Structure 1
Amino acid sequence: MNKTFSQQDEANKPANNWQLKILMLCWEYPPNIVGGLSRHVAGLSAELAGLGHEVHVLTAGTDQLPEFENMSGVHVHRVQPINNRDEHFFSWIGGLNLAMAFKAERLSEEITFDLLHAHDWLVGAAAIVLKDTLGVPLLTTIHATEHGRNNGIYNEMQQFIHEKEQQLISESDQIIVCSEYMKDELLSIFKETSVNLAVIPNGIELVEPKQAFNEIFPELKNEKYIFSLGRIVKEKGFETIIEAAAIAKDEGLDYRFIIAGKGPMLETYRQHISTRQLESHVHFIGFITDEQRNVLIQESELAVIPSLYEPFGIVALETMTFGKPTIVSNTGGMKGIVKHLQTGLLMVPGDARSLLEQINFLHNNPKKAQEIGEMGRQIVKSLYGWKRIASETSRVMEDLLLSERINKSEEEGQGKQIIRK
């Protein structure tokens, strides 16, 4: 069977005979990084391009970034929201979706896309419109839900986002989630249960720091520290680290925590540190580059990811890939990545005492800590490389398109039978 859906030159076909033209929608894309979503889409799109697919990413632009560039074989198209200066986020997102839809229609005049791949509700309005306009199936990856982030829906803003998620899921022909935990979450909180659901984990790029630690963080030379990172929001559980540091201080334990990331709770947490006189024990260092992140992980004693809600846990993979023993909350997708005392350690979410117990264990058992770190590194390398993730995603795309073809053939056949009658 010829599995090429777009008309391509024979010389350009990949070895597996597939070559799809994919339009991917995501509100953030490197170097415009807000959270983990941008890195996920960048890693996936680059590897899909490496498999021979033609990948076009449509994303938000800034005045400092070009409207188009080819990044690692990916065609990146950036648009400015129609109401770019609007400070109201929902209005800004609405303007972004309008700009995305207009740009995609212009692209479709020159490119015949095979399918759409949307990432989360933020691009849902454009994805739903384009599904009909372009006449192609819609694949959606749901990375997190508003219900999960807040452990429920409590106000109008959360209800608005929840309804947008529901609409996108209902209109999608195929859904991808990153963990069995997320699959169960979607099935339990959304009314739509007939949509096809595939579980494909996030991927991680295995990298080595290019700069020496002393060049980037000379003030930390010869210092032992415990590292954590993530978007500085309540659901990431950094309050647990602050509480653990306070207990450790009272008990005379010499633990130092370095926490990297930006977000709306950053100044609040810094104030907590000052009020509790923990400046020598906890440091929120704000935004860091990928290179800074890598050297901080590499030189750390161990890592802690204390999330209260975590659909997958890409930051845990980032620390584990460096062979660092990693403590994660026993929740969400992370409990599917880490096996306690084998590839990492599990703590009770939000429990500072539980966190300290795991830290003490690793501190008092350095040989075991090294073994756990190495086992974690091996599991990440074998299961979460982007090539494997992209191959699984490609198969889902191929199955979706084959299913669409079969359905259309059956519908056309039924139509002919009706005409004959």
Structure 2
Amino acid sequence: MKIAIFRTDSSSQDPASYNSQEMGLAKGLRKLGHVVDIIMASSTGHYSEKVIDDTDGAIRIIELPFRIIPLLNEPFYPKVYKILSKNKYDYVQINEEGNFASYLIARVCNKNDLKFGIYQGMYRTLSGRKWALYEAIHHRFFRPLLRTRSVGAFCKTSLAGDYLSSKGYKKTHVVPVGLDFSKFRIRENRDWRNHLNIGADAQLILYVGSLEKRRNPQFIADLACNARADQHFVLVGRGPCQSDVETAIIKNSKNNLHLVGQLSQKELPALYEQADVFVLPSDYEIYGMVVAESLAFGTPVISTRTAGPVDIIESEEQGSLISYLDVDIWLKAIDFYGISSKNKSEMGLRIRNAESRFDWVSIARKYVELVS
């Protein structure tokens, strides 16, 4: 098949340099012999094409110029009709059925008799009066086409599937997100414990991600403040809440809260491996690839009950799910895992389980069976 994976939002991303979901699926499909284009918003405002070629074959990335619809702050792609008509795809994947661009692309597919499907991660409607009004309009005028003409809705999580089922979708399938394990083969080894002055017998608790309100980095700072001095919390990332964390570090008398800033992908493997437990106290998580990444390096995860972690964490050996942010409950869970990196047997089980579950080729094979 000739497949187009259409990233319908306006965010810019280089799929070649990141553990990108679009690129991961494209590589999995390519290994199965399919031709794949990734279509996304242009980072320059101009049309461009580039081909990423490796041992698995070539994947073309098409960047389209777009305009923003002011009220919705959502993109509109003027060239989409020409691109989809010209390339004669056998199947078009449209990301997120709630995006206005998704509806417009579905209209083009329907007019050109192109088979299309939804790839869904969102599992609840955005809050606020504006989005409540948009949802009502979308459900009345736009969703019927997406729901009836698509070959199905392929959902990243069970909660995303439940959400679309509640909107009237009959053909929903959970197709999880995978990991591009090759991204971590080029790595930079570093003794992070020595670098951060964390003793070999101390517990290293890791967080990787944006320092933003929905991820609750201040809660991690509170955990550090109430933890033992030999429990060290390491935060990787930047974001609008960074100054709050920096203030917490100054006030922290135990010196067990560390902010290391943004790290490159090649720097992360050593840190994942040396961590004893990973924490993700997020209010909303469409998937949470850091959870899968942590398990792939053998590190157990403690997370709130958001969509991705609920599906990913299957046993106590892999991690714990906690419904709310309570310092005592989270510290008890952190104590439970102790210095888990010392238990090589459990690490190995987590790694093998992750390699089996998050293999993009296996996921792509299931995906093709559903869309064919």
Give the AA of the match of 2:280.
Answer: I
Distance 2:270 2:194 in 1: 12
1:173-184 matched pairs, under 5 angstroms:
173=150, 174-184=152-162
Aligned partner of 2:63 in structure 1 is 78
Maintained 8 Å contact 2:106/2:145? yes
Give the AA of the match of 1:182.
Answer: A
Distance 1:395 1:363 in 2: 43
1:323-342 matched pairs, under 5 angstroms:
323-342=298-317
Higher normalized strand content (fraction of residues): 2
Maintained 8 Å contact 1:324/1:370? no
Aligned partner of 1:374 in structure 2 is 348
Distance 1:80 1:131 in 2: 19
Distance 2:284 2:91 in 1: 31
Query: Greater RCO between the two (CA within 8 Å, min separation 6)?
Result: 2
State the Cα distance separating 1:200 from its structure 2 match: 0.8
Instruction: Deviation per CA, 1:114-173: give whole Å up to 9, x if none.
Output: 2221112444144233223422132111112453xx6xx333256536865886654321
What secondary structure does 1:213 align onto? coil
Distance 1:194 1:168 in 2: 13
Maintained 8 Å contact 1:261/1:286? yes
Give the AA of the match of 2:119.
Answer: T
Distance 1:166 1:213 in 2: 54
Aligned partner of 1:25 in structure 2 is 6
State the Cα distance separating 1:353 from its structure 2 match: 1.7
Instruction: Deviation per CA, 1:391-415: give whole Å up to 9, x if none.
Output: 11111110xxxxxxxxxxxxxxxxx
Maintained 8 Å contact 1:146/1:162? no
State the Cα distance separating 1:234 from its structure 2 match: 3.0
- 1:176/1:302 Cα in 2 relative to 1: closer, same or farther (>3 Å)? same
TM-score (norm 1): 0.73
Aligned partner of 2:119 in structure 1 is 141
1:117 aligns with 2:93: yes
RMSD across aligned positions (CA): 3.4
- 1:206/1:33 Cα in 2 relative to 1: closer, same or farther (>3 Å)? closer
Among all aligned residue pairs of Structure 1 and Structure 2, give the percentage whose two residues are the same amino acid.
Answer: 16
Give the AA of the match of 1:326.
Answer: V
Distance 1:76 1:89 in 2: 29
Q: Identify the match of residue 283 of structure 2 among 299, 308, 312.
A: 308
Distance 2:213 2:50 in 1: 35
Aligned partner of 1:402 in structure 2 is none
Maintained 8 Å contact 1:59/1:77? yes
Maintained 8 Å contact 1:226/1:304? yes
Distance 1:43 1:365 in 2: 29
- 1:110/1:194 Cα in 2 relative to 1: closer, same or farther (>3 Å)? closer
1:51 aligns with 2:25: no
Give the AA of the match of 1:31.
Answer: D
Distance 1:25 1:342 in 2: 37
Q: Identify the match of residue 386 of structure 1 among 357, 360, 370.
A: 360
TM-score (norm 2): 0.81
Structure 2 spans left out of the alignment, 5+ residues: none
State the Cα distance separating 1:29 from its structure 2 match: 6.4
Maintained 8 Å contact 2:192/2:274? no
What secondary structure does 1:23 align onto? strand
- 1:57/1:33 Cα in 2 relative to 1: closer, same or farther (>3 Å)? closer
- 1:33/1:185 Cα in 2 relative to 1: closer, same or farther (>3 Å)? farther
Task: Pick the structure with greater CA Rg.
Answer: 1
Aligned partner of 1:231 in structure 2 is 210
State the Cα distance separating 1:257 from its structure 2 match: 1.5
Maintained 8 Å contact 1:343/1:379? no
Q: Identify the match of residue 349 of structure 1 among 303, 324, 335.
A: 324
Give the AA of the match of 2:42.
Answer: G
Aligned partner of 1:15 in structure 2 is none
Maintained 8 Å contact 1:227/1:300? yes
Aligned partner of 1:160 in structure 2 is 134
1:81-100 matched pairs, under 5 angstroms:
81-82=66-67, 90-91=72-73, 93-94=74-75, 97-99=76-78
Aligned partner of 2:81 in structure 1 is 105
Aligned partner of 1:396 in structure 2 is 370
Distance 2:6 2:103 in 1: 11
